[in-house]
Amino acid sequence: MPHLPFQMSEKPDGTDGAATIMAKPKPKTQRPPMYKVLILNDDFTPMEFVVHILERFFGLNHAQAFEIMLTVHKKGLAVVAIFSFEVAETKVAQVMDFARRHQHPLQCTMEKE
């Protein structure tokens, strides 16, 4: 068998034939802006109704819901949770719709964190 001038794993240019891939730097992914969902105090919505809303729509246990309701009552508002825009918007709509259906003037809003 004739002797080849290079080994089978090498090409004539001295490389092994593997392609060199230049890694492009990955673009930094930014977290989407987050939004605070707030409940505002009023003089008409019963405290028990606010606690029910916090348990039903935000998954809080009774003690957590009661504490946030007291903060709303004493300070005029409280941040209930922080979500992406779409989730915050949905929570606000659910709370407002539920309050209106039960004829309460409760206000729920959202603002950028």
Q: How far apart are CA 28 and CA 63, in angstroms?
A: 40
Q: How far apart are CA 98 and CA 104, in angstroms?
A: 9
What integer is the mean pLDDT of 16-38?
A: 79
Starting from the edge strand earliest in sequence, which strands make up the sheet with 107-112, in order? 77-84, 34-40, 107-112
- What are the backbone angles phi and psi of residue 42, rounded to the nearest 5°? -145, 170
Query: 24 pLDDT band (50/70/90 cuts)?
Result: confident
Q: How far apart are CA 113 and CA 77, in angstroms?
A: 15
What integer is the mean pLDDT of 61-83?
A: 98
What integer is the mean pLDDT of 102-111?
A: 98
pLDDT beyond 60 at 1: no
Q: Supply the pLDDT for residue 26.
A: 74
